[in-house]
Amino acid sequence: MREKILLGATDLFLSYGFKSVTMDDIANKLGMSKKTIYQHFDNKTKLVEASTLNLFHFISEGINQICALEKNPIEEIFSIKQFVMEHLKNEKSSPQYQLQKYYPLIFKSLKEKQFCVMQDCVTSNLNRGVATGIYRENIHVDFISRIYFNGMIVIKDDELFPKDKFSMPMLMSNYLEYHLRGICTPKGLEILNNHINSNQS
């Protein structure tokens, strides 16, 4: 039952935002009473915390599985983007921004966990890219991995990138291309251009 509530709540939060969704909405969607939900979660904040943690673990596991395939580093980055976008519903409701605004403590804790996972993943990606001649050998891996993580946080800021002007798929695609063009060798740029062209046709 707890798992059913978590999945239903997460789906609503991602679709409509953490602020908009009420406990009544969740109860109605799941066809159960609010009392049943409160037996598992004391309040909405506890449910938001559990939902974000549950989703974080699911996405982290998916990213680990993609990394385990050891694709070329450029393909790996695009595969991770695709996976994350699918499971975050293209972030139409700006979940991260709402979390930061209305549940700052949960956001801070989640951001720290995300940083650890992304730091490992991106550092590994950068090192493999350098080793295979796809990324420039003189890049500062630790610097770029941190800039990359912060950029991912920033493009989800609704005030800086309002949704009526910038869709999340457009932001993600442009940000990844911006990131890769700064670190690729000519060999890497050829792979990147081929990927972009094949996905546009």
- Tens of pLDDT, residues 101-142: 899 999 999 989 989 988 899 999 999 999 999 999 999 999
pLDDT the model gives residue 199: 80
pLDDT the model gives residue 25: 95
Mean per-residue pLDDT for 16-22? Answer: 90
Mean per-residue pLDDT for 3-14? Answer: 92
Q: Which has the closest alpha carbon to 188: 78, 73, 20?
A: 73
pLDDT the model gives residue 95: 79
- Tens of pLDDT, residues 170-193: 999 999 999 999 999 999 999 999
pLDDT the model gives residue 27: 95
- Could you tell me which residue, 87 or 52, shows the higher pLDDT? 52
**3-state secondary structure string across 174-196:** HHHHHHHHHHECHHHHHHHHHHH
pLDDT the model gives residue 138: 95
List the structure tokens of 15. Answer: 């679709």
pLDDT the model gives residue 129: 97
- Tens of pLDDT, residues 68-114: 998 899 999 999 989 988 887 655 667 778 888 899 999 999 989 98
List the structure tokens of 123. Answer: 């550092």
pLDDT the model gives residue 92: 63
List the structure tokens of 177. Answer: 């291309």
Distance CA 111, CA 165 (A): 25
- Tens of pLDDT, residues 146-159: 999 999 989 988 88
Identify the residue whose tokens are 């969704």: 21
